[in-house]
Amino acid sequence: MRGEETAGSNAPAGAEPTDADLWVRLRAGDEYAFRTLFGRHNKAVYNFAFRHSASWSMAEDVTQATFTTLWRRACEGTVDDLHLESARPVLLSMARNEASNALRSAKRHLRLVDRVESVTPKGTDNTERWLAEEKEMGHINDVLGRIPDNQRAVIELVAWAGLEMSEVAQVLGVPVGTVKSRLNRARSKLATTEIAQLLGGVG
């Protein structure tokens, strides 16, 4: 799934549908809408999942789980209305939940998700680069572990995913002012850490 970006075939004729249009159709169980949303957003979900988990292998599992859950809900008729122009904020919020669950499960079973065979694409020689990226991201996550999860969620969605404050507020179900205050508190707590420079231009 790494880097996959396909919008799917059998697209209806006419203008390119917006995420909002596709979401309405998705809620009715439309497979084309699902495949198109996947094509638009799977890479962003995958990269976000890696940043949260610090594991390329787990990021792939999380991406699959995120879209599998979305399609299951569509088939069950339990997908909520989309109140934003883009589906990306909702998908990233879902991915964050999936990643958090996967990490808790890994800890419960005392498994380290760092297998070279899993994180390295077949037919490439990028093993050292992939492992270095995991190590660096793992260190960043260790630092982020020092702040409350609700503040970390804002950091991830604003700094990593590049979402607007209003979008983060919508997916977290809190006022924009709360998002801003959580971000400010997080930046204050992380000001003396080695990742402070990553947050310099955030907010």
pLDDT surpassing 50 at residue 116: no
Rounded Cα distance between 47 and 4, Å, is: 12
Confidence of residue 167 (pLDDT cuts 50, 70, 90): very high
Amino acid at 110: L
pLDDT of residue 56: 93
pLDDT surpassing 70 at residue 169: yes
pLDDT surpassing 60 at residue 11: no
- Would you list the DSSP string of 23-81? HHHHHTT-HHHHHHHHHHHHHHHHHHHHHHHS-HHHHHHHHHHHHHHHHHHHHHT-PPP
Rounded Cα distance between 42 and 17, Å, is: 17
pLDDT of residue 109: 45
Please name the residues in contact with 141: beta carbons below 8 A apart, sequence gap of 6 or more.
Answer: 52, 53, 54
pLDDT of residue 102: 83
Q: Please give the CATH topology (third level) of the domain spanning 14-121.
A: Rna Polymerase Sigma Factor; Chain: A (1.10.1740)
Place of tokens 């179900």: 173
DSSP state of 201: T
Average pLDDT for 27-42: 97
- Would you list the DSSP string of 103-144? HHHHHHTT-----HHHHS-TT---HHHHHHHHHHHHHHHHHH
pLDDT surpassing 60 at residue 50: yes
pLDDT surpassing 50 at residue 65: yes
- Tell me: domain 145-203, CATH 1.10.510.10, correct? no
pLDDT of residue 200: 61
Domains 14-121 and 145-203 are alike in CATH topology: no
Sketch the domain layout of the chain as residue ranges. 14-121, 145-203
